[in-house]
């Protein structure tokens, strides 16, 4: 059997390719303006290197904020074009508002319009090419799943939805079972005896092992897996790929050897990282408090007209090491919203006031929590603190739930920017998967990514 030579791009490779080619196309667009329209606002050359770098930084940052590097959205041209226009508009605005770093405004103001349109056209042309070339079937990663039949469909569904280019072609049952168990399965099943032949015929580039009881893998499948490994074929564990593609820890598939799945980030004990985080927290908390004070007149008026009651409310939450503390928020619900006991907040909850809905969607209701950050009870980034009542309930149902309390809770976090508001046990399970991923992988880079995604949440008015 020859080793598969199919071409495919990993998630990280596609994101890097998008970023690099966005910049290359923009600079080519500017060069084209120089040649065709006697454009002199910005030119490609050593003398204008600092101005080109500034433009590149603005494009990279704002394209990230406006989700141009979200692979799910990048595969849809309509959503991509909208985000390109928003990104280009913001980039040009900021570029014009930094005159000491960017070029002097041209005498012919029409050149600014040319500059703006060249960014939109250049990136749009590249994204069209990306969709018709890189997103085409020829670059799909063709994967064969090996595992127990009972788990196959749910595993395949989770991975197929996470990455448009990750295609699970079929599966091989890794355990002994009767023929009846194979009926009415949505995913194509191949026989174990044809394992090596399938790899060649189906042009498989990766085998994914999703067996949660390795002792139950039949000898025939185990032998072929060993043979493939010896030949240098790519074989990976399901949980590894799950984390890589979905950016969350698959705790629902973790058994008694749970400790293997939680080699928590070294940053949790890194003194320099901890010092940086605390400095970051204080700096941004002070800025947040100042901004909150500036918004007080508007918030007071909105509360008077749309909330009809006290502006603030205090609620007990569970913090680091399961220690309780009082969180401060702007009130978004009617007075006495929980007369009948604690309840999940739901979408279109009739307890949420008109102004309260605005505060939640814009995330302005979180402003008073900057005080909790200053006190050291919270961080800017971390798992959202939950109420003791729900913690007690969820920790009895969901394994490892209290593990999220090993670090400080945050104003925003990986779960908040990656999934919707949790209003059920199932939603809490998903949030926990993201929280544990953050605890496991947290770093300066991941923190920065969360800040950028939080800005996207606020700007797109997605808060709940």
What average pLDDT does range 418-446 have in this prediction?
A: 85
pLDDT at 277 over 80: yes
Q: So what's the pLDDT on residue 258?
A: 67
| Separation of alpha carbons 275 and 279, rounded Å | 6
Reference 418, options 389, 450, 441, 460; nearest CA is 450
Of residues 174 and 277, the one with the higher pLDDT is: 277
Q: So what's the pLDDT on residue 23?
A: 96
Residues 8-52 pLDDT 10s: 777 778 889 999 999 999 999 999 998 988 888 888 888 889 999
Q: So what's the pLDDT on residue 115?
A: 93
Q: Sorting pLDDT into bands at 50, 70 and 90, what band is 414?
A: very high
Q: So what's the pLDDT on residue 341?
A: 64
Gap between the terminal Cα atoms of the chain: 53
Which structural domains are found in the chain, ordered by start? 11-132 (no CATH), 140-246 (3.40.50.10700), 266-459 (no CATH)
pLDDT at 289 over 90: yes
What is the pTM (predicted TM-score) of this model?
0.81
Q: So what's the pLDDT on residue 384?
A: 92
For 86, the token pair is 């928003």
| Separation of alpha carbons 428 and 386, rounded Å | 10
| Separation of alpha carbons 175 and 221, rounded Å | 9
pLDDT at 2 over 60: no
What 3-state class would DSSP assign to 316? strand
Contacts of 142 (CB under 8 A, 6+ apart): 6, 8, 167, 169, 202, 203, 204, 205, 206
Reference 454, options 381, 399, 396, 356; nearest CA is 381
Of 146-155, 366-375, 393-402, 412-421, highest mean pLDDT: 366-375
Q: Sorting pLDDT into bands at 50, 70 and 90, what band is 180?
A: very low
Q: Which of 70-84, 341-355, 385-399 is predicted least confidently?
A: 341-355
């Amino acid at each position: 059997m020859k080793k598969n030579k199919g071409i495919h791009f990993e998630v990280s490779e596609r994101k890097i390719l998008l970023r690099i080619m966005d910049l290359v196309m923009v600079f080519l667009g500017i060069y084209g303006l120089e040649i065709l329209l006697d454009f002199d606002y910005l030119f490609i050359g050593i003398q204008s290197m600092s101005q080109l770098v500034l433009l590149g930084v603005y494009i990279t940052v704002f394209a990230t904020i406006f989700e141009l590097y979200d692979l799910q959205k990048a595969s849809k041209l309509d959503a991509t074009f909208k985000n390109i226009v928003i990104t280009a508009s913001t980039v040009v605005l900021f570029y014009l508002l930094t005159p000491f770093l960017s070029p002097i405004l041209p005498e012919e103001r029409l050149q600014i319009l040319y500059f703006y349109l060249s960014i939109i056209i250049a990136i749009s042309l590249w994204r069209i090419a990306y969709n018709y070339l890189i997103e085409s079937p020829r670059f799909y990663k063709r994967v064969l799943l090996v595992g127990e039949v009972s788990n196959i469909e749910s595993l395949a569904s989770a991975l197929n939805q996470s990455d448009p280019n990750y295609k699970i072609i079929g599966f091989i049952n890794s355990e002994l079972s009767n023929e009846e168990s194979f009926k009415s399965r949505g995913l194509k099943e191949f026989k174990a005896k044809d394992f090596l032949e399938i790899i060649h015929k189906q042009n498989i580039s990766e085998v994914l092992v999703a067996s949660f009881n390795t002792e139950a893998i039949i000898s025939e499948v185990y032998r072929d897996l060993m043979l493939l490994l010896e030949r240098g074929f790519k074989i990976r564990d399901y949980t590894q790929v799950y984390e890589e593609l979905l950016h969350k820890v698959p705790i629902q598939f973790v058994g008694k050897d749970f400790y293997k799945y939680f080699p928590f980030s070294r940053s949790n004990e890194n003194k320099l990282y901890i010092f940086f985080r605390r400095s970051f927290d204080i700096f941004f908390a002070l800025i947040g408090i100042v901004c909150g004070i500036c918004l007080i007149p508007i918030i007071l008026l909105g509360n008077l007209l749309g909330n009809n009651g006290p502006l603030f409310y205090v609620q007990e939450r569970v913090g680091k090491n399961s220690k309780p503390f009082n969180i401060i928020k702007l009130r978004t619900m009617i007075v006495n919203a929980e007369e009948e006991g604690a309840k999940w907040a739901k979408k279109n909850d009739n307890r949420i006031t008109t102004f309260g809905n605005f505060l939640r969607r814009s995330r302005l209701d979180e402003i008073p929590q900057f005080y909790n950050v200053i006190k050291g009870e919270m961080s800017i980034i971390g798992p959202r603190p939950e109420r003791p009542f729900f913690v007690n309930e969820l920790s009895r149902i969901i394994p490892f739930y209290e593990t999220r309390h090993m670090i400080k809770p945050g104003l925003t976090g990986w779960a908040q920017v990656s999934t919707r508001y949790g209003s059920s046990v199932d939603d809490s399970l998903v949030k926990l998967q993201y929280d544990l991923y953050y605890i496991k992988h947290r770093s300066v880079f991941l923190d920065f990514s969360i800040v950028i995604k939080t800005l996207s949440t606020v700007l797109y008015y997605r808060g709940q």
